[in-house]
Structure 1
Amino acid sequence: METTLAAVYCEGWDEGWLVNPLTDNGAEARDSAGEPYSVVLLAGGRLHTVLNISWTEGYCAVLKYDESGQPTATTEWRRAPEGDLFLRESTTRSGPGADAARHKTSWQLNGWRSDSVEPAGDRGGRNTFADGGFSAPRLPIPAFGRWNALLDRAARIHLEACVEPFAEVCPIPRVTDGPFRVTAAAPGHGLPARTSDERPWHPPRPLQPRNLDALFREGTERTVGDRRMRISTHAAGKLNLPSGRLVAADPSSLDYGEEPFAVTVAPGTYPATVSLATFTDDPGHTRVAAVRLDISDRRPARWELALRDGQDMLDLGYGEFFGFGVDAGMACFTDEDNRERLSDEWQALTLRDPRYTVLADGDMIAWSSGWGDGSYPTWIGRDHSGRVTTFIADMLLFPSDD
């Protein structure tokens, strides 16, 4: 039997409220521009499903609700390199409570599938299964308003979760739903609405590089709180990369197996530049804003986050990044071939004035880490041909571009 759903558009759904309602035309314009928005689908006036969509990130989440208005099943779709959508993750619950059984499945494009089954929900106990050789479910990106395929496929996925072998340890009630027909909601749909400067959800948009060129522009001033800092740049010497596998790390962790970045460069010796930020009202107070390693003299045309083997940008949420951790107030660049040999070199360092140094005849460049301990991203610059031009360790000194 066909299920008819009425679509209402907004910037987000928040516990019974439409946040910043959108007209159909306004939502379609956001869809075309790739901007985030939500589709609230009603069955007989009752909340049935919410779609959170942001095509800039190639992202669509389908959240199914029960009659009490609680989410009971979700599917998360991501854009594949070929341009269509693949199912990244699905979760099916036996009910709305914290102790409801849950079955979560994740897919990767390399054919790997993992299942996590929690028969008692938050009360504890978990069974996990993982294996290769699976093809993630895929769908074309739907045209605006053509939500049927997403809904039908999500319903089949949740139904399959109820009858798979895992259902023996995680009983999920078998519920049939659909096929679906989506129509425009009548003006008097009755859902409460409110306006807000903040959306109730954010797309999985990882941290983006923030005006990296300005970090190495002599004399540039930036604001931190209500104070100003002025950038100066300093040649820090040359770094030896005998294997071409760069490691960015806290030097105190080098003997713990810090892995190099997956992107490699030709073995060689490359110049490093340190960006120092000095408080304009306190010239004796400096901090390292970033460190740049130039692989070529070509200007970068685009930037990407440096990843290690096994890291995937699809695992990052809003504002998140993969970085190197700092626990001793210092950071360094070195080569993978020199990592273990240099694991003790840092212990005599103070790095107060200057805040950087070259060790072991260029086998390591070390610097004080921005405001101190934390996690910091490294960005890779590429030219128009995709060749690596630069690595920049961003010490996140400034909260935002100004």
Structure 2
Amino acid sequence: MRARLEAVYCDGWDAGVVNPLTSSAAKARDAAAEPYTVVLLLDGRLHAVMDLSWSDGYCGITRFDAAERTLSRHLLRGTGEGDLFLREVRTWDGPADAGKHEYPHVAARTTTTYTVSGTRTDIVEPHGDRGIRRDSTSQQRAPRLPIPAFGRWDELLRLAGETSRETSREIVDAVQHELPVRVEARAPWRAPRPLKPQGIEELFVPGTIVDVRDQRLRLSVHEAGQLRLTSGRLVAADPSSLEFDAEPFTVSVPPGAYPVSISLATYLDDPRHSRVSAARLDVSDRPTARWELALRDGQNPIDLGHRQYFGFGVDAGMACFVDADASERMQDVWLTLDGLVDPRHRTIDSGAMVAWSSGWGDGSYPTWIGYDTAGHVTCFVADMLLFPTDNDEDDD
């Protein structure tokens, strides 16, 4: 007998339907590649939830059993070639008497992660949170499928292991349902839109006035001297942590000496109070046409969530640029930096390192790579996140 599922459309699922949508409204969002959620019912009960945002190359599928316990979560991401690939799947298989909140913690858990290049990693935890785990890696191409047309939710369910290819399910719009419904100011989930660089060029325009935290600050630009990149592999890090955190970025430049500039923000009502807003290493004088997040080995932007980024950690209130080949011998230099209060930057060992005080202090900071129209590197900018951006508009 052909199974029948009913589809409910909304902004999201959070123990109930949040901000319900008509089928036509959901279809319009699908056509515009805007985020929305599909809740699938089987015999009137919760069966699966799909969070979709095609503009972000994102699909999240959560499946439930008859007791509304989570059976699996599938994360699909865009390949950049117009289709989706399975990035991660997590499944649970546990005791029948476990409640839906306890179940994900006590059930046997398997997590499988794929890369586009064809690496598969499996983590098996036979006792959930309570016991051992086994890790293994193999070469296997990730499952793929084209982005489905609106309403073809069976294609996503098949990829999630719901049915075999020979079995089809009828999916219709729900006429009515008994699920809890509520209206909220925002959706309960967000498409994974990592932090974007904004206003980077303006940070290096002297005299720019910026409002932050009910204060006005004026930007000035200071030349910090030349950084010697003997290998061309740049490291951005806390100088006190070079022993543990000196991995260079995956993008390198020809060996040489490159000028470093410091953007300093000074309070208008207290000229003695200033903060470093960014440090820039110039590779060429060509205009920057686009920015990308600097990455280290093993980092992939598709793993970032809303406003997330890969950055370097700061625990001593200082940051630096240094060549990968010089990082080991520069590990103890931070002991002589004296907090970098005045001035807030310093060139060390004839350009082997350029150090500066880190924005508001300790934290994690991204580095952006500028490229010209031909795809050549123009600069590296360590962003101290001193100022809020439009990326903050949805934050609480």
Contact kept, 8 Å, 2:11 with 2:187, in 1: the verdict is yes
Task: Answer with 380-389 or 339-348: which moved more.
Answer: 339-348
Using the alignment, how far apart are the partners of 1:77 and 1:396 within structure 2?
30
Alignment CA distance shift 1:20-1:177 (3 Å):
farther
| Residue of structure 2 equivalent to 1:136 | 142
Supply the distance in 2 between the matched residues of 1:37 and 1:257 (Cα, whole angstroms): 40
Distance 2:111 2:138 in 1: 16
How far off is 1:269 after superposition? 1.6
> 1:180 is matched with which residue?
169
Instruction: Give CA-to-partner distance per residue, 1:283-317, whole Å, 9 cap, x none.
Output: 11000000111111112111111001111112222
| Number of the residue aligned with 1:11 | 11
Are residues 1:334 and 2:322 paired? yes
* Amino acid aligned to 1:117: V
Q: Which string of whole-angstrom CA distances, capped at 9 and with x for unpartnered residues, describes residues 42-86 of structure 1?
A: 222221111011122211011111222232211111111433211
Is 310-319 or 362-371 further displaced after alignment?
310-319
Distance 1:112 1:28 in 2: 35
Residue identity in the other structure for 2:136 = A
Quote the offset at 1:248 in angstroms: 0.4
Contact in 2 for aligned 1:303/1:382 (Cα 8 Å)? yes
Contact 1:152 1:178 (C-alpha < 8 Å) held by counterparts: no
Give secondary structure in 2 for the equivalent of 1:256.
Answer: coil
Partner of 1:261: 249
Q: Is 1:372 matched with 2:361? A: yes
Amino acid of the structure 2 residue aligned with 1:307: L
Structure 2 residue aligned with 1:104: 111
Which consecutive residues of structure 1, in runs of 5 or more, have no partner in the other structure? 160-175
Instruction: Give the SS at the match of 2:242.
Output: helix
Deviations 1:90-144 (A, max 9, x none): 122125323122222111223221222222223x113323222211111111112
Distance (Å, rounded) in 2 between the aligned partners of 1:291 and 1:319: 21
In the superposition, relative to structure 1, how do residues 395 and 28 fare at CA in structure 2: closer, same or farther (>3 Å)? same
Distance 2:131 2:369 in 1: 42
The CA distance in 2 between the partners of 1:344 and 1:226, in whole Å, is: 38
What is the one-letter code of the residue matched to 1:397?
A: L
Aligned partners of 1:234 and 1:35: how far apart in 2? 43
Q: TM-score w.r.t. structure 2 length?
A: 0.91
Structure 1 counterpart of 2:203: 215
Cα pair distance change 1:386/1:177, threshold 3 Å: same
Change (3 A) 1:63 1:377: same
The question of whether the paired residues in 1 share the 8 Å contact of 2:15 and 2:180 is answered with no
Distance, in Å, in 1 between the alignment partners of 2:28 and 2:268 is 45
Q: How many residues align?
A: 382
1:248 aligns with 2:236: yes
Alpha-carbon distance change, 34 to 51 in structure 1, aligned in 2, over 3 angstroms: same
- 1:392 counterpart residue number: 381
Bigger drift between 314-323 and 58-67 goes to 314-323
SS of the residue 2:328 aligns to: coil
**Distance (Å, rounded) in 2 between the aligned partners of 1:153 and 1:3:** 17
Cα distance in 1 for residues equivalent to 2:70 and 2:244? 42
Q: How does 1:265-284 map onto structure 2 within 5 Å?
A: 265-284=253-272
**Match of 1:155, SS?**
coil
CA distance in 2, matches of 1:21, 1:6: 14
4+ residue runs of structure 1 moved beyond 6 angstroms? none
The question of 1:33 aligning with 2:32 is answered: yes
Q: Distance in 2 between matches of 1:226 and 1:276?
A: 18
Greater shift after overlay, 231-240 or 321-330? 231-240
- Distance in 1, matches of 2:182 and 2:317, equals 45
Paired letter, 1:29: A
Partner of 2:97: none
**What do residues 311-370 of structure 1 show as CA deviations (whole Å, max 9, x unaligned)?**
111222222211111111110001112111222222211311110111111221110011
Q: Which of 155, 179, 186 matches 2:161? A: 155
SS in 1 for 2:29: helix
- C-alpha separation in 2, matches of 1:93 and 1:22: 31
Deviation at 1:265, TM superposition (A): 0.7
2:92 alignment partner in structure 1: 93
Q: What is the rounded CA distance, in whole Å, between the counterparts of 2:65 and 2:208 in structure 1?
A: 55
Alpha-carbon contact 2:237-2:245 (below 8 Å) kept: no
Q: Which residue of 2 aligns with 1:165?
A: none
Give the aligned partner of residue 64 of structure 2. Answer: 65
What is the CA–CA distance in structure 2 between the aligned matches of 1:340 and 1:374, rounded to whole Å? 23
* Structure 1 residue 276 displacement after superposition: 0.8
Residue by residue over 1:226-256, the C-alpha shift from the partner in whole angstroms, topping out at 9 and shown as x without a partner, is 2222222122222111211111011112233
Shift of 1:378: 0.3
Distance 1:383 1:80 in 2: 24
Q: Is the 8 A contact 1:155 1:177 kept in 2?
A: no
Identity of aligned residues (%): 55
Aligned to 1:145: 151
64 and 136 in structure 1: CA distance in 2 versus 1, 3 angstrom threshold: same
> 1:127-182: CA deviations, max 9, x gaps?
3232222111111111122111111221258x9xxxxxxxxxxxxxxxx9963222
* Secondary structure in 2 matching 1:151: helix
1:113–1:132 contact (8 Å) kept in structure 2: yes
The question of whether the paired residues in 2 share the 8 Å contact of 1:3 and 1:178 is answered with no
What is the TM-score when the length of structure 1 is the normalising length?
0.90
Q: State the partner residue of 1:21.
A: 20
Cα shift at 1:223: 2.6
In structure 1, give the amino acid aligned to 2:149: A
